[in-house]
Amino acid sequence: MQFKKIALVGKLGSVAIVEHILHLAEYLNSIGIKVYIDCQQECVQYIDEKFDVGDLLDWIDVLDLIIVVGGDGTILSVARKAVNFKIPIVGVNQGKLGFMTDIAADEMILGIENIVLNNNFIAEYRSLLLAEVYRGDKIVYNSVALNDVVISRGAIGNMIEFDIAVDGQFVLSQKSDGIIFATPTGSTAYSLAAGGPILHPKSPVFSVIPICPQSLTNRPLVVSDNSTIEFTLAMENATQIHFDGQECYDLVLNDKVILKKYPEMLKLIHPTEYNYFRTLRKKFDWSKRVS
């Protein structure tokens, strides 16, 4: 695979990230790769004129690869933009080991060199969730999520009441703080904190996890990712739908949310030594023995 046009994305408010991005940009330019840097206007003064600077969407249709420098949260944002263009993403982690940003910052040049020059990498495909908000017969909002779609109480703070159906079959009525619809990628995020299962990224399923349900008999549910899930808001209350915790929309009484697997999948690039279970061990200290 040839990577000739690469975009670099990161939170450029951090001096450390700016330095890493500029260092990586210089390296990529030296080996003949066209470099684009996703950058807000206030950062332009720090960047050499030989690099194209702007918004990722300005040139997303010509890119061969996106390198995210930062953390998993930045990948979530980039993924929703890149998935329709089938552009692979690779992550360079700035802090602790991430679940998706798995090249260490101090090994950045070597790790990226192995990928873009030597074509030594592991490609992995991740599913996304599409959620469409129906008000009557009209779709009033829709978006996708790599981690999760969360529907929860708004500013007032009261519990919300809703009905859930899967593939046209009624499942339950529930009163709770909300509900999480998680992909396998998102199973180690908010879903996990709410008591959901850890799902291997290749698992063809989605999980449905209640958030502090009124009835303690309500438990997480795992369904096929070929399923269509229907959420109906059954009580007037301040309620919001969130996508990866980065965008949201207000729901009203009788709104229906239809959730299903997004037809496009995200392509992640990992170094050849990538191992999902090793990542879990490091993140959760599973390697430690109890003395």
Enumerate the active-site residues.
72
Q: What tokens does 288 get?
A: 């430690």
Distances (CA, A) of 286 to 50, 108, 133, 201: 46, 26, 40, 19
- The sign of the CA dihedral 131, 135, 139, 141 is negative
Distance CA 252, CA 203 (A): 33
Q: What tokens does 133 get?
A: 């908000």
Distance CA 134, CA 269 (A): 35
Q: Are 248 and 241 in contact (CB under 8 A)?
A: yes
Distance CA 246, CA 243 (A): 6
Report DSSP state, residue 264. Answer: S
Distance CA 220, CA 148 (A): 14
Give SS3 for 189. coil
| 92 residue type, one letter | V
Give SS3 for 158. coil
- The sign of the CA dihedral 283, 284, 286, 288 is positive
Alpha carbon of residue 264 to chain centroid: 14
Distance CA 270, CA 282 (A): 17
Q: Residue 141, CB half-sphere, CA atoms under 13 Å: how many? A: 14
Report DSSP state, residue 289. Answer: P
